[in-house]
C-alpha cells in the first residue's frame, strides 16, 4: 500500500497541470504555505504536532493546532525548480516569493479554534484566518474529523492575484469545510469544499516515507502540489523542514518552528 501511494504521488508530480500563478483570481500568495493548521507541518487529531501527523501545503486539513502552542513559519516559492531564499531577484526579475505565518490556538465551544496572521509581501501586506475543529468524536464519524473555517476573514485584497490598485481589486475571503480521515499506517486522506480561493473541492493525502520523513500530495483546485517534510530541533524546540513542488515545476520550501 505504501509503495503504491508513493508511486501515485510521483505520478501526480510528473503529470501536474500548469495553470498560471499570477494574474486575475489565481491567488498567488495563497498557493504556497497558506497559513492554516498543517500547512508545512504535520498535525495529529488531538492537535499535537509530530512527524506522524497529517499535513499539506496550501489547503486545509481538519486537524486544528492544540491550545497553548504557537507556530512560526517562513516559506519561499521560486519561479522555477531552483530552491531559493525568499523574495530574491535575478536580472531585475523576481525569482522567488515569500510568506510568513504565525499561528496559535484557543479553547472555544468545546473544541479548538486556530488564529493565523499571514504576511504575504515584503511590504507587510497581511491577512488573517480562523479554523474551528468540530467537537465530534471519531467513533461517531468513522475515523473522520471535521473542521470549518474562513481564509482571509477581514476580506483584504492583498493576495487576490489581481494586478490592480487595492481599491479596485476583487476580494478573497474564503469559507471552507474539510474532513480528514486517518487511514492505516499513519496515513491520512483529506477532502474539503471551499469558495473563492478554492473554487470547489480540494484534497490531500499524507503518508510516511520512513521513520523520519513524511510525504504529501494535494490538489488545490488549480494544480497538484507535492512535497516531503522532516522534523528537526532548533534551540531545543520542535521544528519542521518541508520541500516540494507547486504545480510540478515551482520549487518551494518552508520551516515551521513550534513553541
What is the domain partition of the chain in residue ranges? Answer: 2-258
Q: State the pLDDT at residue 93.
A: 86
- Dist CA 72 CA 122 (whole Å): 17
What pLDDT, in 10s, does the model give residues 167-209?
A: 556 788 999 999 999 998 789 999 999 999 988 999 999 999 9
Q: State the pLDDT at residue 245.
A: 97
Residue pointed to by grid coordinates 491567488: 27
Q: State the pLDDT at residue 20.
A: 67
Give this prediction's pTM: 0.88
231: pLDDT strictly greater than 80: yes
**Grid coordinates of 135:** 467537537
Nearest to 60 by CA among 177, 157, 162: 177
Q: State the pLDDT at residue 15.
A: 43
- Dist CA 109 CA 214 (whole Å): 32
What does R_g of the chain's alpha carbons equal in angstroms? Answer: 17
161: pLDDT strictly greater than 80: no
Q: State the pLDDT at residue 50.
A: 96
Contact 118, 100 (CB under 8 A): yes
Task: Please report which confidence band the pLDDT of residue 65 belongs to, taking 50, 70 and 90 as the band edges.
Answer: very high
Give the rounded percent of residues in the chain with a pLDDT score beyond 90.
69
Beta bridge partners of residue 202, listed in sequence order: 192
Looking only at the bridges linking them, the beta strands covering 213-219 and 237-246 are unpaired
Backbone angles phi, psi at 170, to 5 degrees: -75, 150
Residue pointed to by grid coordinates 504521488: 9
- Dist CA 24 CA 22 (whole Å): 7
- Dist CA 54 CA 188 (whole Å): 6
Q: What is the mean pLDDT of residues 159-174?
A: 66
Chain centroid to Cα 211, Å, comes to: 22
Assigned fold of 2-258: Porin (2.40.160)
Task: Please report which confidence band the pLDDT of residue 120 belongs to, taking 50, 70 and 90 as the band edges.
Answer: confident
Q: State the pLDDT at residue 123.
A: 77
Q: What is the mean pLDDT of residues 99-109?
A: 94
117: pLDDT strictly greater than 80: yes
Amino acid at each position: 500500500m505504501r509503495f503504491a501511494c508513493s508511486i501515485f504521488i510521483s505520478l501526480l508530480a510528473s503529470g501536474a497541470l500548469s495553470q498560471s500563478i499570477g494574474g486575475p483570481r489565481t491567488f498567488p500568495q495563497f498557493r504556497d504555505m497558506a497559513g492554516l493548521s498543517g500547512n508545512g507541518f504535520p498535525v495529529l487529531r488531538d492537535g499535537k504536532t509530530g512527524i506522524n501527523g497529517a499535513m499539506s501545503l496550501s489547503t486545509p486539513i481538519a486537524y486544528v493546532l492544540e491550545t497553548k502552542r504557537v507556530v512560526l513559519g517562513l516559506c519561499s516559492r521560486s519561479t522555477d525548480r531552483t530552491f531559493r531564499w525568499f523574495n530574491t531577484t535575478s536580472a531585475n526579475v523576481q525569482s522567488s516569493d515569500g510568506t510568513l505565518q504565525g499561528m496559535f490556538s484557543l479553547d472555544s465551544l468545546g473544541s479548538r479554534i486556530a488564529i493565523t496572521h499571514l504576511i504575504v509581501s515584503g511590504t507587510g501586506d497581511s491577512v488573517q484566518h480562523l479554523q474551528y475543529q468540530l467537537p465530534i468524536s471519531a467513533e461517531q464519524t468513522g475515523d473522520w474529523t471535521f473542521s470549518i473555517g474562513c481564509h482571509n476573514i477581514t476580506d483584504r485584497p492583498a493576495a487576490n492575484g489581481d494586478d490592480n490598485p487595492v481599491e479596485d481589486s476583487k476580494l478573497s475571503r474564503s469559507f471552507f469545510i474539510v474532513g480528514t480521515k486517518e487511514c492505516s499506517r499513519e496515513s491520512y486522506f483529506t477532502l474539503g469544499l471551499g469558495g473563492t480561493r478554492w473554487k470547489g473541492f480540494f484534497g490531500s493525502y499524507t503518508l510516511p516515507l520512513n521513520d523520519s520523513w513524511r510525504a504529501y500530495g494535494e490538489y488545490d483546485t488549480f494544480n497538484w502540489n507535492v512535497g516531503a517534510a522532516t522534523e528537526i530541533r532548533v534551540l531545543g524546540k520542535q521544528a519542521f523542514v518541508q520541500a516540494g513542488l507547486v504545480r510540478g515545476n515551482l520549487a518551494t520550501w518552508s520551516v515551521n518552528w513550534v513553541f
